[in-house]
Every structure is written in C-alpha cells, then in structure tokens.
Structure 1
Amino acid sequence: MRILHTSDWHIGRSFHGNSTLDALRGVLDALTREIVERGVDVVLLAGDVFDSATPAADCYSLLTDTLLAIRDAGAQAVVTSGNHDSAARLGFQAPFLGRAGVHVVTDPLTVGAPVTIDDDHGPVHFYGVPYLEPALVRHLWPDETLRTQEQVMRHAMSLVEADRAARGGRSVAIAHCFAAGVEPTPQLEREVRQDLRQGSLDVVPLACFDGPDYMALGHIHGRATLSERVRYAGAPLHYSFGEGDKPRGAWLVDLDADGLADVAWVELPVPRRLVTLRGTLDELLFDERFAVHVDDWVCAVLTDATPPHEPMRRLRTRFPHCATIQPDPERRRDDTVRTYRERVARETPDPQIVDDFLALVRDGDGASDEERALIADVISERRAEAAQ
C-alpha cells in the first residue's frame, strides 16, 4: 500500500494580511498530480485542516475540491482534526463521507476504532487520533488522570494498542501533537502556544507512539524525522518567515506484507519564496545584490539609526510583496556614556536636556541645527508664558 502523509493545510490562513487561498490551491493541485503519478492509495491529513474553527465559505470550497480530486485520482483519504479546527464542523456528516472514501475522524470516542482499507496483502488499520484538549475530554474517561497532552496521548495510544493486539495485521496511526525530538524554537513555540504549560511545551514522549508500523504526525510546520517510523510532514505552504528555508512537501510511505517498507520525501512547489533582507532603507532600495528578490515575499530588517520616513511605501516600489518591516538599528554602544538620568540630574539647561533625550532615542544623533533653533524657540515661548 502506498500512503501520502500530509498535515497542517491551514486553509484560510492569511500571511501578513494577504490571502493564501490561491497559493494553497495551486500547491494542493500539485499534490493531487503526485497522487496520480505515484499511484497513491491513501492520503493522510494529520490535523489543522482549517486555520479557524469558523472557516469562510471559500475555505470549504477549496477543501471540497481537493478531496474530490483525491478521490478522482483513485486514493482514499483519512483526515483528523487539529487544534485549529472545530471538530464538530469538520466532522459534520463524517459517516456519509466515509462511505465515499473520505474518512474524517474528529470524535474522541472513536479513538481505537480504525478505518480499515485493504490492499493485495490484506487489511491495513488506520487509527485516527483527533487533537485532544485535556480539559475538554477528561470527562469522557473519568477513571483516567488527564491533565496534560502526554497523559491524553498515552491514554489514546493505549486504546489503539489494545485494538491492534486484538486485530493484528499492519497499522498506521495519525495524531496532532508536539512530540519529543523536535527542537522548540521561538517560532515553533508560537505555533504551538496552545500547548504551553508553565512556560514549557507540553511534550509527548516518543515512547507513546510505539506499536504502529507508521506514525503520521501533525502540529509543527516543518518536516521532521523523529524515528524511521515517526515523522512530521509539515505544512504545504510557508506560513511565516521563520519557515522560509524549510522544504515543503509530503512523505510517501510504502507498506509491504510485513509492514513499513520505505519512506521517501515528495517535494511540493513553493508559489513564492520567503526571504529576510537586512540593511539600511537606502541599501535595500538601491543595492543591486537585492535585485534577485523583487518577486519574493520580503521581511525587511532595517538597520537605520533613525527611523526612516514611510519605509513600507518606499520598499514596495522595489519589492511589491514586502510583507513586514522589523527595525533593528545598528547601535553605537559606549559603556562610558552616562545614562539619561545622570545627564539631566544636575543643573542642565533645558535645550541640552532635549538634545540629550534625542541623542538617547536616536542612538547618538542629537538635534540638528534646525531642530535646535526650533527647540530654543519653543522653550523661550514656554518661559514667557510661565512668567506672565
């Protein structure tokens, strides 16, 4: 059996205020072409189908079109809900969809009850584990202690293992969680902020996933191989500049009569590259080394000591897809310089106080001659008013 492992489509997510629907549609079209060309039997979508619990109508249209294309390509689909999804909305009419070859698993009480799909070697049991928020599911298993993701996933996988032991045969499990073995970078911590527990990520140990021939995980947006049989596929699009250098694609998983036979990476197209460019505004606008990025999504890190005027408007004259600006002035540091409080603590003239303040916030650049004249005029006027 040939399986394509995907996750985290996040249909409906915006990118710095820009819709990603058209770009995602193009990538999912490419994915369905891969299904045809590679003879895929089953497509797995490991959670975060949508980016919102209340997706817009055009998000449903994209999902419907893609699932139809997958079925037209001859593959069945097993879909689980993630923390961004509404399980109730995603699972609407799941029993009817299952009869059409699209198996949507969103009900926690179905954990341990597989979707079984046959090939020439017999049945393969697919165990979908929807995202399980401890506070929302602990009442379903009142005899269990379920306060963390680890405890919930241990319980869910124990149900899977009990069923596997009774059925035998080959098996694949699908889950949406943060597993041990993935480095929690700052960007990743923002992506999975729902799992923050007392300042650290609520990590599920790899030992929880022992048993199935393959474990298809979702929740992080970059591909990751935690073991030969436990993997993340990542998202099909780049949804942040922190992901810009990570490949986009899916895992192609082959099962033979004995279980896992091979896993290979399938690249998917990147509609528009993401780059982070660093320099002063003038450097970004005129330096020829940045010319190759005029069609990319751009994060501009501006190193100007003084904030420039209308930087976004000016940057977009060269980079139409400049999405965000991050000021990061190259500071002139001098440990011997007095603090601002030390400068004004004595009998410092008012014009000098203002000049010192401007030098502080401008990283050394005090008032210009024109500004000093204006400051002197304003101070003189205020003194005259106070003397009346």
Structure 2
Amino acid sequence: MRILHTSDWHIGRSFHGHSTLDALRGVLDALIAQVHEHDVDLVVVAGDVFDSAAPAADCYRLLTDALRGISDAGARVIVTSGNHDSAARLGFQAGLLRDGIHVLTDPAAIGTPVTIDDEHGPVHVYGVPFLEPSLVRHLWPGVEVRSQAQALDQALGLIRADLADRGGRSVAIAHCFAAGVEPTSGLERDIQQGGLDVVPLAAFDGIDYVALGHIHGRQRLSDAVRYAGAPLHYSFGEADKPRGSWLVDLDAAGLAAVTWLDLPVPRRLVTLRGRLDDLLTAPAHAEIEDAWVCVQYTDPTPQSDPMRRLLSRFPYCATVMHTPEGARADDGSTYARRVRAARNDRELIDAFLAHVRDGEGATEREREIIAEVVDERVAAEVSA
C-alpha cells in the first residue's frame, strides 16, 4: 500500500494580512497530481485542515475541491482534526462525503479503525483527533487525563488493544507535539507561546507508521514516526524549510520505505537586513523583487514612511522592522535624570532626541537648527 502523509493545511490563514487561498489551491493541485503520478492508495491529512474553528465559505469550497481531486486521482482520504479545527464543524459533513473519504473527529471512536485491504491483507488506519484533556477525560473513567501526553497514551493504548485483536498492519494519525522535534523547526503558534505538552516517542510503539501533524517543518523522529509539515510557508521563520509530504510504502511485513516529495513554493520568502537606502538601490536584490520580503532596516534612526518606499521596489514586502545596528548600551540613566541634568534648552532637546532615538542625540546639522530655533525664541521673549 502506498500512502501520502500531509498535514497542517491551515485553510484560511492569512500571511501578514494577505489571503493564502489561491496559493494553497495551487499547491494542493500539485499534491493531487503527485497522488496520480505515484499511484497513491491513501492520503492522510493529520489535522489543522482549517486555520480557525469557524472558517469562511471559501475555505469549505477549497477543502471540498481538494478532497474530490484526491478521490478522482484514485486515492482514498482520511482526515483528522487538529487544535485549530472545530471537530464538530470539520466532521459534520462526514456522512455526506463520497465513498473513500473519511473525516475522523470523534475521540470516542479512536479504537475503531478505517480498514483498507491491499494484496497483502488489511491495513488498519486509526485517526486520533486533537485531544484536549478537559474535553475527553470523561470518556475514560478511572484514567488520569490531565495532559495531552496522558490523553495520547490512553488513545494509543486503545489502538494497540484493538490491533492485537484484529492483527495486520497499522497506521496512526495524530496531532500533537512529540518528543524529539528540533526546536527550530517552525513550531506552531501555541507552542511558541509556551503551551508545551510533550508526548513521549515511546507512546507510538507498535504502530507500523505514525503520521503526525502540528509542526510546520518536516521532521523524522524515527523511521516510523514523522511530521510532514505544512504545504505552504506561513511565516518568515519557515522560509528555509522545504514544503512537501511523505510517500510511505507498506509491504506485507509493515513499513518498507519512506520518500520525501517536494511541493512547489508559490512565492519564496526572503528576509533582508541593511540600511534602508542600500536595500532600495542595491542591484544584488533585483532577483528577489517578486518574493515575499521581510525587511529589517538598520539605520540608526527610524526612517520616514519605510513601507511605502520599500513597496516601490518590493511589491510583496510584507513587514518592516527597525533594528538599528550598534545601539548604544544603556548607561543606567533614566530619561527624567537626563532631563534634570540638562543645563539649557539645547541640552534638553538633545536629551529628548537621545531618548526616542535609541541613544542617538542631535546631529551636527540638527544642533545648528536647534540653536537657531532656541535663539529666536529667546530673542522673541526678550523683545516682548
């Protein structure tokens, strides 16, 4: 049996205020072409199909088109829900889908697989939706479920028990943060915000292949336990991570081979750093003018209207940050103390400029202008 493992489509997520629906549609069309090209028997989508619990109508249309496309290419599909999905909204149409498309969102049914036969016999595919401990602990009276790791341990125990009765090969689909993931691998937003709940790798023992979702960069935790990552880049932190899916082959004995299939990147992501004028004029940047661009300009002081100026050269500039080089070290002096230390209006203004410009006081030309303005003010007060 040949399986394509994908995850974290996040249909409906925006990229710095820009819709990603058209880009994602193109990438999923390429995935569908791979299903046909490689004679895939089953596609598994390991959670976070949608980006929110209440997706817009266009998101449902994109999902419907993608699932139909995969089915028309000759593969069956099994989809599970992630932490961004509403299991109820994702699963409400499960009974209406055509044969061969399964949406598994009910935690009470974790121990009941979708069984698919090939020339070597049955393959039992178990879907584990994202398990929020407070919402599922009532399903297992007498079992302590205070963390997602405990919930996954219980779920995998149910799967192994069922598999022991059925026999045959097995695939589990889960959405979680598993131990062993590299810390720089494009972590999910809730993980970045400190919501770590690590599932030990040993929890997946006894399964021929475990298709994981939740991490946006591909990861191989073991031969049999992998993350496919998201099919689209959703942040500049993911820019150097390949996009694609795992092509998994099962033979009569179980896992036979796993191959990575790249997906196209609709628009590359680039981070530029340097002085604003240099970024606007450097010939070396001509080749990335059609890329999504994150700019970190290093001028000592904030520049006027940097986004508008950058868009004139980089029409897909998504974000701009002022990150000055050589910022002066904090001398421990508060702004109030510097103001009190000023001996005249010129020094008072210089103290204010240093406060708002990361330690940089007035330039020579600015001092001349300040002196003129202060002298005019003093002369006006004297004449009055």
Do the two structures share a fold, i.e. TM-score over 0.5? yes
1:366 is aligned to 362
| Distance 1:176-1:355 versus aligned 2 partners, 3 A rule | same
What is the CA–CA distance in structure 1 between the aligned matches of 2:345 and 2:271, rounded to whole Å?
Answer: 42
- Is there any run of 5+ residues in structure 2 with no aligned partner, and where? none
1:108 is aligned to 107
2:239 is aligned to 244
Give 1:136 deviation, angstroms: 1.4
- The superposition leaves residues 177-230 of structure 1 with CA deviations (integer Å, 9 ceiling, x where unpaired) of 000011334962635357x45xxx111110111111000000010000000000
Q: Output the amino acid matched with 2:237.
A: G
What is the CA–CA distance in structure 2 between the aligned matches of 1:138 and 1:373, rounded to whole Å?
Answer: 74
* Equivalent residue in structure 2 for 1:256, among 228, 251, 254: 251
Give 1:351 deviation, angstroms: 2.9
Q: Could you say what secondary structure the match of 1:192 adopts?
A: helix
| Distance 1:353-1:126 versus aligned 2 partners, 3 A rule | same
What is the CA–CA distance in structure 2 between the aligned matches of 1:167 and 1:95, rounded to whole Å?
Answer: 25
| Distance 1:74-1:379 versus aligned 2 partners, 3 A rule | farther
2:61 is aligned to 61
What is the CA–CA distance in structure 1 between the aligned matches of 2:327 and 2:234, rounded to whole Å?
Answer: 34
- The superposition leaves residues 162-191 of structure 1 with CA deviations (integer Å, 9 ceiling, x where unpaired) of 101111110000000000011334962635
Q: Could you say what secondary structure the match of 1:318 adopts?
A: coil
Contact residue 186 and residue 216 of structure 2 kept, 8 A: no
What is the CA–CA distance in structure 1 between the aligned matches of 2:207 and 2:374, rounded to whole Å?
Answer: 74
| Distance 1:189-1:117 versus aligned 2 partners, 3 A rule | closer
Q: Which range moves more in the overlay, 371-380 or 228-237? A: 371-380
What is the CA–CA distance in structure 1 between the aligned matches of 2:226 and 2:109, rounded to whole Å?
Answer: 23
Contact residue 272 and residue 297 of structure 1 kept, 8 A: yes
Q: What aligned pairs does 1:314-353 form with structure 2 within 5 A after superposition?
A: 314-333=309-328, 340-346=335-341, 348-353=343-348
Contact residue 188 and residue 215 of structure 2 kept, 8 A: no
| Distance 1:101-1:81 versus aligned 2 partners, 3 A rule | same
2:127 is aligned to 128
Contact residue 47 and residue 79 of structure 1 kept, 8 A: yes
What is the CA–CA distance in structure 2 between the aligned matches of 1:51 and 1:339, rounded to whole Å?
Answer: 44
* Equivalent residue in structure 2 for 1:216, among 211, 214, 225: 211
What is the CA–CA distance in structure 2 between the aligned matches of 1:338 and 1:193, rounded to whole Å?
Answer: 34
What is the CA–CA distance in structure 2 between the aligned matches of 1:289 and 1:313, rounded to whole Å?
Answer: 21
Q: Which range moves more in the overlay, 114-123 or 324-333? A: 324-333
TM-score (norm 1): 0.92
* Equivalent residue in structure 1 for 2:226, among 227, 231, 245: 231
TM-score (norm 2): 0.93
What is the CA–CA distance in structure 2 between the aligned matches of 1:242 and 1:189, rounded to whole Å?
Answer: 11
What is the CA–CA distance in structure 2 between the aligned matches of 1:105 and 1:165, rounded to whole Å?
Answer: 21
Contact residue 351 and residue 379 of structure 1 kept, 8 A: no
Give 1:100 deviation, angstroms: 1.1
Q: Output the amino acid matched with 2:146.
A: R
| Distance 1:339-1:115 versus aligned 2 partners, 3 A rule | same
2:83 is aligned to 83
1:9 is aligned to 9
1:178 is aligned to 177
1:357 is aligned to 352
Q: Which range moves more in the overlay, 38-47 or 352-361? A: 352-361
| Distance 1:40-1:334 versus aligned 2 partners, 3 A rule | closer
Q: Could you say what secondary structure the match of 1:188 adopts?
A: coil
1:297 is aligned to 292
Identity of aligned residues (%): 64
Give 1:292 deviation, angstroms: 1.1
**Number of residue-to-residue matches in the alignment:** 379
What is the CA–CA distance in structure 1 between the aligned matches of 2:186 and 2:44, rounded to whole Å?
Answer: 25
Contact residue 302 and residue 326 of structure 1 kept, 8 A: yes
Q: Could you say what secondary structure the match of 1:358 adopts?
A: helix
1:28 is aligned to 28
Contact residue 192 and residue 220 of structure 1 kept, 8 A: no
| Distance 1:378-1:161 versus aligned 2 partners, 3 A rule | farther
What is the CA–CA distance in structure 1 between the aligned matches of 2:331 and 2:115, rounded to whole Å?
Answer: 72
What is the CA–CA distance in structure 2 between the aligned matches of 1:331 and 1:380, rounded to whole Å?
Answer: 39
Q: Output the amino acid matched with 1:163.
A: D
1:43 is aligned to 43
Q: Output the amino acid matched with 2:361.
A: D
Q: Check if 1:95 corresponds to 2:98.
A: no
What is the CA–CA distance in structure 2 between the aligned matches of 1:299 and 1:80, rounded to whole Å?
Answer: 33
Contact residue 2 and residue 254 of structure 1 kept, 8 A: yes
Q: Could you say what secondary structure the match of 1:212 adopts?
A: coil
What is the CA–CA distance in structure 2 between the aligned matches of 1:186 and 1:265, rounded to whole Å?
Answer: 17
Q: Output the amino acid matched with 1:317.
A: S
Q: Could you say what secondary structure the match of 1:265 adopts?
A: strand
Contact residue 6 and residue 44 of structure 2 kept, 8 A: yes
Q: Could you say what secondary structure the match of 1:282 adopts?
A: helix
* Equivalent residue in structure 2 for 1:270, among 261, 265, 272: 265
Give 1:327 deviation, angstroms: 1.1
Give 1:350 deviation, angstroms: 3.4
Contact residue 185 and residue 215 of structure 2 kept, 8 A: no
What is the CA–CA distance in structure 2 between the aligned matches of 1:328 and 1:58, rounded to whole Å?
Answer: 38
Contact residue 192 and residue 219 of structure 1 kept, 8 A: no
| Distance 1:337-1:83 versus aligned 2 partners, 3 A rule | closer
What is the CA–CA distance in structure 2 between the aligned matches of 1:376 and 1:219, rounded to whole Å?
Answer: 64
Give 1:260 deviation, angstroms: 0.2
Contact residue 185 and residue 238 of structure 2 kept, 8 A: no
What is the CA–CA distance in structure 2 between the aligned matches of 1:129 and 1:38, rounded to whole Å?
Answer: 26
